[in-house]
């Protein structure tokens, strides 16, 4: 699996694209594009990857991501019982004219665009207002959609409670082979988490010794390899607990565990509930 290059084009009579889409579970593949991306992630919890940044998240959030910055949201589960969704806006620097963002009125917003090479997480109460406008933007047409987007830019500009995500030394796509490696590992785990995963087999995929692979994976993702495998297994188990009537033992084995007691223990470590308590809470 290679690092995905995406290109977004809206209808011929639009200058930027807006999408609302369901976020599937276990979709961790990094991608990048030439546009700026303003994304609202709703009703979800999981892991956010922006450049060299990796962090857990839950609930609703709004992030601005610059061009050529690899990113993805690995959705582990719904945060509030609703379907995890994303509202995604893509626009170029020149979508309203060559020097549009260089006018005095856009000084603050243009600074934010420059910061987006690290990914910008907007925090506190402003995201709720931004999300409301983004929901309206999905169905807006013609001039109204441009005016709504400018309102969103204004709210983004005045938000002073923000967090830059990637490290100060991060350069967009400064090592594309690195992300190709990570994606290859993610894809392998998502295909094989229900089996016994051999560390050497995974290390061979990226042409490293097991010891070098473990160091590489921890440095890249801030997780040990088997911590990541456990999250994938428990994320899958959580989904099946919510959406099926399979027994706990059946889910245990389908998730790659061969011991129910160990499954219950690891599930509680991540979810703070036993599988039975988790299912009961959702029912």
Residues 177-187: tens digit of each pLDDT: 666 777 788 88
**pLDDT value, residue 177:** 60
* Cβ–Cβ < 8 Å for 7, 34: yes
pLDDT band for position 73 (50/70/90)?
Answer: confident
Domain 4-164 has CATH 3.40.50.300: no
Mean pLDDT of 241-263: 92
Average pLDDT, the chain: 84
Helix (H, G, I), strand (E, B) or coil at 176: helix
Tell me what percent of the residues of the chain surpass a pLDDT of 70.
87
CA–CA separation, 73 vs 24, rounded Å? Answer: 10
Query: So what's the pLDDT on residue 178?
Result: 64
215, pLDDT greater than 50: yes
Helical pair 210-221 and 176-192, crossing angle rounded to 10 deg: 100
pLDDT of residue 283: 62
SS3 236: helix
Please report which confidence band the pLDDT of residue 54 belongs to, taking 50, 70 and 90 as the band edges: confident
CATH 1.10.10.60, the chain: domain bounds: 176-282
Q: Which CATH number fits domain 176-282: 3.40.50.2300, 3.40.50.920, 1.10.20.140, 1.10.10.60?
A: 1.10.10.60
CATH 2.60.120.810 intervals, the chain: 4-164
**Per-residue 3-state assignment (H helix, E strand, C coil) for 77-118:** EECCCCCCEEEEEEECCCCCCCCHHHCHHHHHHHHHHHHHHH
Model's pTM, two decimal places? Answer: 0.65
Which residue's entry shows tokens 């599930």?
267
97: CB partners within 8 A, 6+ apart: none
User: Which is more confidently placed, 142 or 79?
Assistant: 142
């Amino acid at each position: 699996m290679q690092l995905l290059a995406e290109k977004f084009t809206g209808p011929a009579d639009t200058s930027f694209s807006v999408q609302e889409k369901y976020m599937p579970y276990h979709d961790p593949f990094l991608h990048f594009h030439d546009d700026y991306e303003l994304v609202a992630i709703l009703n979800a919890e999981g892991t956010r990857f922006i450049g060299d940044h990796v962090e857990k998240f839950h609930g609703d959030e709004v992030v601005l991501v610059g061009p050529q910055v690899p990113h993805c949201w690995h959705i582990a589960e719904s945060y509030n019982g609703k379907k995890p969704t994303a509202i995604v806006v893509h626009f170029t620097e020149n979508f309203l004219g060559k020097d549009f963002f260089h006018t005095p009125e856009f000084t603050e917003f243009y600074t934010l665009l420059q910061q987006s090479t690290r990914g910008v997480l907007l925090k506190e109460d402003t995201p709720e207002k931004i999300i409301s406008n983004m929901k309206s933007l999905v169905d807006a047409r013609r001039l109204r959609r441009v005016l709504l987007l400018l309102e969103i830019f204004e709210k983004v500009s005045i938000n002073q409670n923000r967090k830059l995500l990637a490290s100060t030394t991060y350069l967009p796509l400064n090592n594309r082979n690195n992300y190709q490696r990570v994606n290859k590992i993610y894809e392998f785990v998502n295909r094989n988490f229900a089996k016994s995963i051999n560390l050497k087999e995974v290390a061979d995929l990226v042409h490293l010794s097991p010891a070098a692979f473990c160091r590489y994976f921890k440095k890249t993702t801030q997780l040990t390899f088997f911590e990541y495998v456990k999250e994938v297994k428990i994320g899958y188990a959580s989904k099946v607990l919510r959406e099926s009537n399979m027994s706990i033992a059946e889910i245990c084995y389908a998730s790659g565990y061969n011991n129910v007691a160990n499954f219950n223990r690891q599930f509680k470590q991540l979810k703070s509930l036993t599988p039975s308590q988790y299912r009961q809470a959702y029912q």
